[in-house]
């Protein structure tokens, strides 16, 4: 699947691409999911509010990447992958900055 398509559940694969890899006036939360050192496609990254409310979800593409644009503040990113992998990360988004997560599933 290519970036920007979806997997049938409505989740865009990989999230929206950044034109120049700078956050600009956005707060960005992004990451890459790997397994055994290789990008893992077909994993899911969910963005949750600090109070666990579902905000959005993307499926990782061929490069194992995901990206969300968020308001400033505290968020949770829950990553789900095959073989029962489930991990949650607490992050703080800030306008003009990119939060990078590296997830080894």
Domain parsing of the chain, residue ranges:
27-104
In Å, how far are 22, 83, 103 from 100, measured between CA atoms?
12, 24, 10
Of residues 75 and 17, the one with the higher pLDDT is 75
Please state the rounded mean pLDDT for residues 12-41: 80
- Sorted by sequence, the CB contacts under 8 Å of residue 13 that are 6+ apart come out as 1, 2, 3, 4, 5, 6, 7, 58, 59, 60, 61
Residue pair 6/12 in contact (Cβ under 8 Å)? The answer is yes
Could you tell me the pTM of the whole model?
A: 0.79
CATH architecture type of domain 27-104? Sandwich (2.60)
């Amino acid at each position: 699947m290519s970036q920007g398509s979806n997997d049938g559940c409505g989740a865009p694969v990989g999230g929206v691409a950044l034109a120049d890899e700078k956050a600009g006036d956005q707060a960005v939360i992004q990451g890459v999911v790997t397994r055994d050192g290789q990008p893992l496609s077909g994993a899911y990254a969910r963005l949750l509010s600090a109070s666990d409310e579902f905000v959005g979800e993307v499926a990782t593409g061929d490069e194992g990447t995901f990206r969300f644009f968020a308001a400033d503040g505290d968020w949770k990113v829950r990553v789900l992958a095959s073989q029962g992998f489930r991990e949650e990360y607490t992050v703080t988004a800030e306008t003009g900055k990119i939060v990078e997560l590296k997830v080894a599933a």
